[in-house]
Amino acid sequence: MFHSFIRQCIDQSLLRGLRGACLDLLKGAVASALLGIPLAASASDKVSLWPSIPFIRGQDLCQFQDAHGQKRSELAREMSNQIKSFLELGAEARDAVDILTTIDQLIDKNRAMVNAGHGMDVTLEASLKASIDELYRQISPRQVNLVFFNPGPLLELLRDLRDRKRQGSLDLKQLSRISGFAWGTYSYGAGCSGDIGATVHVETANGDSVSFYAQGRPDWVMSVIAGKIFTYYQRTRFPSVVVMSGRSLSLVGAPGSPVGSAPTTKIAQKSCEALGARLPTHGEYEFLSMLGDWNGGVSLGHKVWAMADEHVLAPDLRNPSPVRHPDEVNVDEVGYYCVR
């Protein structure tokens, strides 16, 4: 997966500014394979990515819609109506055609000016990294599961910035310290309203390959994708082991899903017993909720949770106690996950 993408980036020269970065990564990956130096495997779900995120521009869906969004007869009819309007305003037939051609050329010229250069890929990369950093600052999880590896000393980075270069030159030792890389594609939206559709693909050495898509204005579309990436890599993954009161507590989830639901607490309890586990106690539910979804726990939210002895935990009913009999709460099903 790594090699096929980089070869495509080089052979087709899709982004001239990324050609050197693609070559560097390809050389390192090939040498790594020849010398038997593996890419770093992730430890404790932590993923260290190559610092640059190449973005390849796809088909301009706005222009595609202009060209193919109508039948030939509809396009001919529309152009005929435009020429007719010019004639009704007093233009000569030849002048009407020239005016229509000039307007069309001005539209193409304006689009060409906007699309000149390779600035959009840099904007998307920078805004994606900034949005991910902002989420980590706001939520502040105890363990950061996604980082961008810094390939060189600060002085080298400053030189690259001065020379308008991008990070990405990795030697074999540095290559062995990353566990994957991200790359993206983008295209201008079919609605011709300034939207773009963007996809970010993350591929890791352990075979994990996942893509995240969003569509919207260029100034915020990356924040949507950043939220999806953060959730994917930071949310609690089962089984999860935490330390509570000096002992290890393993969250094994529910049969078929991390967090399950059941019509009764008895069914939830039997499901956990089938896994060789049990339902959490009141204290365990509360502690794991304080850890939250980003630190190995599970938030209680507004659900009603199954407990042993056919009782439930209703976090919204804390007076006098959130521990209730099922008859005291009006729900059709209870949430649960299993621990051991």
pLDDT in tens, 212-229: 999 888 878 999 999 999
Reference 60, options 258, 197, 205; nearest CA is: 197
Q: How far is it, in rounded angstroms, from Cα 98 to Cα 121?
A: 36
Residue 218 is predicted with a pLDDT of 82
pTM: 0.68
Q: How far is it, in rounded angstroms, from Cα 104 to Cα 312?
A: 68
Of the candidate ranges 57-71, 268-282, 316-330, the one whose mean pLDDT is the lowest = 57-71
Reference 310, options 280, 269, 259, 262; nearest CA is: 269
Query: Please, which pLDDT band fits residue 181 given cuts at 50, 70 and 90?
Result: confident
Query: What's the mean pLDDT in 67-75?
Result: 56
Cβ neighbourhood burial of 184 (10 Å; 0-12, 13-18, 19+): buried
Query: What's the mean pLDDT in 186-213?
Result: 84
* Residue 14 near residue 56, CB atoms below 8 Å: yes
Q: How far is it, in rounded angstroms, from Cα 103 to Cα 98?
A: 9
In percent, the amount of the chain with pLDDT more than 70 equals 61
Q: How far is it, in rounded angstroms, from Cα 29 to Cα 176?
A: 9
Q: DSSP letter for 36, please.
A: T
Cis status, amide bond into 153, omega within 30 of 0: no
pLDDT in tens, 100-132: 677 666 666 665 655 555 578 888 998 999 999
Report which of residues 28 and 139 the model is more confident about. 139
* Residue 311 near residue 325, CB atoms below 8 Å: yes
Of the candidate ranges 130-134, 159-163, 211-215, the one whose mean pLDDT is the lowest = 159-163
| Torsion region of 20: left, alpha or beta (phi above 0 gives left; psi -120 to 50 gives alpha) | alpha
- Mean residue pLDDT of the chain comes to 77
Reference 317, options 306, 307, 304; nearest CA is: 304
